[in-house]
Every structure is written in structure tokens, then in C-alpha cells.
Amino acid sequence: MQLKTYAPLLFLAFWSIGAIATKVGLQYADVWSFLLLRMAVALALLGLAIAWLRPPLKVAAGQWPWLLLCGFLIQVVYISCYFLSIRHHLSPGLVTIVLALQPLATALLLRDVRSLTGMLCLVAGFAGVVLAVYGAKDLGSVNGLGLLFAVAAMLSFSLGSMVQKRLDGHLLPLTALQYALALPVYLLAVWHQGWQVQWSWPFVGALAWMGGLVSVGALLLFFYRRAR
């Protein structure tokens, strides 16, 4: 099985469950405290991976503006809007459907339809998400503000992935640097809004899923495909 062909399907699977994990986590923490912890977990995991694999860490001077822009679009705007859409009572099902358009939107914006098989995998993955959500009756009512945040999340991720195409380097350090650059934003948000976390096993599970499989696994899968 070629990873570059099936990466979009794995990405959609991780991200789809991520909406449910986010909803669970937000029952025990506010948006900004959850985001800060998620970012810290992801950064720690990436740091361990970098220490183990020892990829080249050098970033060319001309790459830094694009790195900052990519980190802002994906790690700040996208992630914040994603969490806020669920906080504003948009159902995980609707959030999943909107966000499942990301690979399709990015491929169309980049005109990156390199093969019929690749496009069919994207379309099949999106259709599968829609059918699964519909079958689970998890559409719920449409909240205007929540839907606006979800669309903003999808667009910011699509734009961020276009910027990511301009970056030249190993995925692990580039992603870790984006997380490190975004971390102070969430520290400031928590400092302003206050720390609100009720520790429980459901919250730990949601944090592990979002900080590990989504923030590291799914994102690297997506960037891997973009780099090919």
C-alpha cells in the first residue's frame, strides 16, 4: 500500500474522530486551556521524534516569513476556529463534513489533481465521512456562528497548506517550529481568559487524541502528501 495514495483517507479518519474528541474535551476545559495543553503535548511528541530520528534542523533565512505565515494560519487561526465552532454548539457531524472538504479544497486551489485515483480517493473519503455522519444522525441543528467558524477553519487550513508548499525542509522540525511559534499565542490567551481545566479520564483521552493522533499524526500525513 502506497502511503501517498491513502494518506488522505487516514487524514480524514483521524480528523473525523477529532471533532468528537474536541467536544468531549471542551466539557472539561475552556477553549484556550485545551488548546494550550494540546499544543504542549504535540510539541513534546515532536521533540521526542526529532531527538530520535535526528533530521536536519537548518531553516534557510528566506523560509522564516513563510514558516511564520503557515504557523499562524494553521496552528492559530485554523485550530482556534475549529475549537470555537464546536464550543458554539455546531455538532461534531457538521464540523466533520465542513472540515472534510479541506483536502478537496486544497487540491483544487493548488490544481493538484495528479491522478484520477488520487482524486477518487479524496472524493470517496469525503463521501464516506458524509454517509457515516448521516447514518449516525449526528447532524444536529445548524448554528450560524459555529458554521462560520468551521468554514473559516477549513479555508485557513487550505491556505496554510498552500503556504506549506513553499517550505523546504524536513517535516518534523518545520512542524515543531510552527507549534513553538504558536505556543505563546495560547499562553497569552490563557493568561487573559484564565486557566479552566477539570482533569478526568475522558479529558485525558481527548487530549491524547488531539495532541497525538491529530496534531502530530494527521497533520504530518497531510503535509507528507502535499510534499509529494
Quick one: DSSP state of residue 141?
P
Q: What is the Cα–Cα distance from 158 to 106, expressed in whole angstroms?
A: 5
Domain count, the chain: 1
pLDDT in tens, 92-129: 777 777 777 766 666 665 555 555 455 555 555 555 54
pTM: 0.79
Our CA dihedral for 41, 152, 150, 154, rounded to 10 degrees, sits at -70
78, with CB counted inside 10 A (0-12, 13-18, 19+), is: buried
29 DSSP β-pair partners: 197
By residue range, what is the domain housing residue 106?
A: 3-227
Q: What is the band of 174 on the pLDDT scale with cuts at 50, 70, 90?
A: confident
Mean confidence (pLDDT) of the chain = 79
Directed axis angle between helix 144-164 and helix 92-99, to 10°? Answer: 30
pLDDT at 27: 95
Q: Which of 14-28, 79-93, 97-111, 206-220 has the lowest mean pLDDT?
A: 97-111
Nearest residue to 75 (alpha-carbon basis) of 184, 2, 171, 167: 184
What the block records as the C-alpha cell of 95 is 464540523
